[in-house]
């Protein structure tokens, strides 16, 4: 299981600061993109990201209406993985094909209230999926534990798909998250809002490793 630092900001300077911070201890970051329409908040733009050269692998999480309009610009900005929301996509298959035509990995995000049915149907086309364990768009939102039941339900279907979870994740709930068998855990404030982000990242990784060991 992998910890992915998640960057959510509306400032180009803060975006670069968080990317430079993560370069010290991680190989991949998730960049949260918000349009003020699909979610109330706004974030930095593809232009901001494109202006920052980094060695990190970039996963872009599109919390936007009309995600198809954002894919090519963020690919140009350096994204290698793009995840969009099922709830924002009238034709998700078309968007998945668009991402894959550009040679990038395609992911589908589900809001907490969305069932597993769309994911079950679209899994053969996808590279990964992302479960939102908060209502999206707000940094530091409270964790919704019922999402873990949804992950267990999907796991029980025995469908092979890389799974991630994003939102409200801290040391106190990491053990129960690891026990669901997810592959990626996206963590924002529990890394970047700490006095020593690198140590927080490593501590979470160690905690996840310990939680994943057989009793």
For the chain, give the mean pLDDT.
95
Per cent of the chain over pLDDT 90 is 92
Tell me how many domains the chain contains: 1
pLDDT, tens only, 156-167: 999 999 999 999
Q: What is the pLDDT of residues 22-35, one digit of tens each?
A: 999 999 999 999 99
Chain segment 102-124, per-residue pLDDT in tens: 999 999 999 999 999 999 999 99
Q: What is the DSSP string of 102-160?
A: TT-EEEEEE-TT--SHHHHHHGGG-SEEEEESS-TT-TTPPP-TTHHHHHHHHHHTT--
Which tens digit of pLDDT belongs to each residue from 165-204?
999 999 999 999 999 999 999 999 999 999 999 999 999 9
Confidence at residue 4, expressed as pLDDT on a 0 to 100 scale: 97
Q: pLDDT tens digits for 126-151?
A: 999 999 999 886 666 789 999 999 99
Residue 199, pLDDT score? 97
The confidence score (pLDDT) of residue 141 equals: 74
Residue 172 DSSP label: H
Q: Which domain holds residue 37?
A: 2-212
Q: Determine the pLDDT at residue 137.
A: 67
Q: Which positions are annotated as active-site residues?
A: 32, 166
For the record, the structure tokens of 159 come out as 């469908």
- pLDDT of 212 strictly over 80: no
State the residue for tokens 């994204």: 79
- Burial classification of residue 88, based on how many CB atoms lie within 10 Å of its CB (0-12 exposed, 13-18 middle, 19 or more buried): buried
Enter the pTM of the model. Answer: 0.95
Q: What percent of the chain is modeled with pLDDT above 70?
A: 97
CB of 143 within 8 A of CB of 134? yes
pLDDT category, 14, cuts 50, 70, 90? Answer: very high
| Structural contact between residues 177 and 185, judged by C-beta atoms closer than 8 angstroms | yes
Q: How far is CA 68 from CA 8, 41, 80, 102, 132, in A?
A: 20, 19, 16, 12, 20
CATH no. for residue 206? 3.20.20.70
Asked if the model's pLDDT at residue 215 lies above 80, the reply is no
């Amino acid at each position: 299981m992998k910890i992915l630092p998640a960057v959510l900001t509306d400032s180009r300077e803060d975006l670069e600061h968080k990317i430079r911070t993560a370069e010290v201890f991680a190989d991949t970051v998730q960049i949260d993109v918000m349009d003020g329409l699909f979610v109330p908040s706004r974030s930095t733009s593809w232009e901001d990201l494109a202006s920052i050269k980094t060695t990190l692998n970039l996963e872009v999480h599109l919390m936007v209406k009309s995600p198809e309009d954002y894919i090519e610009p963020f690919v140009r900005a350096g994204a290698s993985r793009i995840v969009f929301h099922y709830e924002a996509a009238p034709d998700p298959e078309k968007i998945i094909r668009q991402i894959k035509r550009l040679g990038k990995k395609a992911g589908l995000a589900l809001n907490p209230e969305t069932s597993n049915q769309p994911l079950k149907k679209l899994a053969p086309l996808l590279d990964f999926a992302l479960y939102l364990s908060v209502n999206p768009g707000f940094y530091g939102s409270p964790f919704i534990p019922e999402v873990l039941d949804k992950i267990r339900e999907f796991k029980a279907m025995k469908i092979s798909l890389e799974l991630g979870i994003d939102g409200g994740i801290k040391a106190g709930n990491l053990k129960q998250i690891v026990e669901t068998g997810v592959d990626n855990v996206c963590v924002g404030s529990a890394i970047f809002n700490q006095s020593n982000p690198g140590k927080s990242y490593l501590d979470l990784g160690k905690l996840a490793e310990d939680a994943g060991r057989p009793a």
